[in-house]
Amino acid sequence: MILSRRSCLTIIILAVTIALSFSSAAPQQSPPPQTSQALTSQSTLVLVPVLVRQHDSNEAIFSLGSQDFTVTDDGVPQKVRLQSDPDLQPLALVIVAQTGGIGVDHIKDYSDLDAVLDALIGAVQHRVAVVSFDSQPHDVQRFTSDMGLVSNALSTLEDGDRGAAVLDALAYAIDMLRQAPPNYRRAILFISQSLDAGSQTTLDQAVAAIDETNTTIYSLAFSVTKSEVKHEAAKVPLPGGTPYGDTPYGPGGCMGYGNDPDAHGNRRVQALDCLEDLAPPLRLARMAFYEARDGLKKNVPEAVARQTGGEYFEFKDNKTLVKRLEVITNDMPAYYVLSFSPEAPTPGMHALAVTVPEAPGAQINARKAYWAGAPPEAQAPPASTPTPPAPAPPPTTNKVTPHP
């Protein structure tokens, strides 16, 4: 693509003008309090969980060092560190189980999970909470270190209504974990149908919430067809028109009228496309955002697991649910956790890519993105029984701690 200096200057001025117009049009609100795990534009640390398997045997690959990984942030290589023994760090876990809609038929499957949950958590210091959901999330068990209370909560869940607000429940669980101590790993065990039905949380808000914190999501889904739910979701503006490439723009450059069919006459979209051509990382971030949002429209639990570096499985009854949890338990020690500190990242979605050059063809399951800055209208939906924030747990366990 050929751009004159004058065209480049025009684009930059236009982009700044648009950004200022957005900021002035936005309602003035007090920013939400930031926790140590929120990735602000001055950011702290991005955690990238990675599971590497042999391409032929599906066996996990151990003994890799930080030098064996290549991690890029919007296409820019990062200097990463490898955290030692991440599975031995304290764990904050929210178990989210659907009890509404077709989830009513699976409530019996959530019983007798004591042994497998104990094995999954291990002997580390932990805080575990239970949330059920139908048309809204419900606090069932506040954060506690007593796994007996957790098991009892799962075994005594009640039938919900006909709703299945999957995105609302997910956003609520993520919001609960914001108050976890900074040295705790954050994880969600998410049990639901594949499609959302009736959430107030939009797809854009869900994408931002998922990628804003260092939370890994492990999903277990029972299948449901589109005809079984009334699925209302934002539509993804799919790219159309001419292919992107190195073909020079016509007279007037990239901002010339008719020179960007993909913008469909929208001058702000056209300006963003021009800016992305000048700064390719912006296009990578935009593609990552569309991919994440489109995934939430097709299969929420699978999309969030893939996005965060977790794992996704389907189940049909208690027996298969236990087997899937055993696989997750066995895989956890094989995870590598890489970290890097981005320098003044631009607000919004950032695309992550992880490769292992010395293991060509290896299956790599890793976090795909992170969100810098405050998410759009970041606010979790209220649960049916909201509870006040709780202080961080003491160094010793065996004491029930209220859910934040």
> Which residue ranges make up each domain of the chain?
86-231+283-334, 235-278
- Residue 160 makes CB contacts below 8 A (sequence gap 6+) with 98, 99, 100, 101, 103, 104, 132, 133, 134, 135, 138
Q: Between 109 and 27, where is the model more confident? A: 109
Lowest mean pLDDT among 137-151, 174-188, 284-298: 284-298
Edge-first strand order for the sheet with 81-82 is 81-82, 336-340, 46-53, 363-366
pLDDT of 197 higher than 80: yes
* Confidence grade of residue 224 (pLDDT, cut at 50, 70, 90): low
**Concatenated DSSP letters for 232-258?**
--PPP----SSPPSSPPP-TTGGGSTT
Note the pLDDT of residue 388.
42
pLDDT score for 195 = 87
Average pLDDT over residues 371-399: 55
Note the pLDDT of residue 296.
Answer: 58
Asked if 277 and 270 count as a contact pair (C-beta separation under 8 A), the reply is no
> What percent of the chain has a predicted confidence (pLDDT) above 70?
63
Least confident of 229-243, 321-335, 348-362: 229-243
Do the Cβ atoms of 330 and 58 come closer than 8 Å? no
pLDDT over threshold 60, residue 35: no
Say what the pLDDT of residue 133 is.
97
Phi/psi at 344 (5° precision):
45, 60
pLDDT band at 226 (very low <50, low <70, confident <90, very high): very low
pLDDT by residue (tens digit) across 44-66?
789 999 999 998 888 999 999 99
Which helix H or strand E contains 147, and what residues bound it? helix 147-155
Alpha helices in 54-135 (DSSP H): 114-121
Mean pLDDT score of the chain: 76
Top mean-pLDDT range of 84-93, 156-165, 217-226, 277-286: 156-165
Fold type of domain 86-231+283-334: Rossmann fold (3.40.50)
CA 29 – CA 52 distance, rounded (Å):
43
93/376: higher pLDDT: 93
| Integer CA distances (angstroms), 323 to 19, 314, 316, 319, in order | 50, 11, 11, 6
pLDDT confidence of residue 397: 44
Say which range, 186-190, 272-276, 331-335, has the weakest mean pLDDT. Answer: 272-276
pLDDT tens readout for residues 353-382: 999 998 888 999 999 999 887 666 544 556
| Arithmetic mean of pLDDT, 121-145 | 96
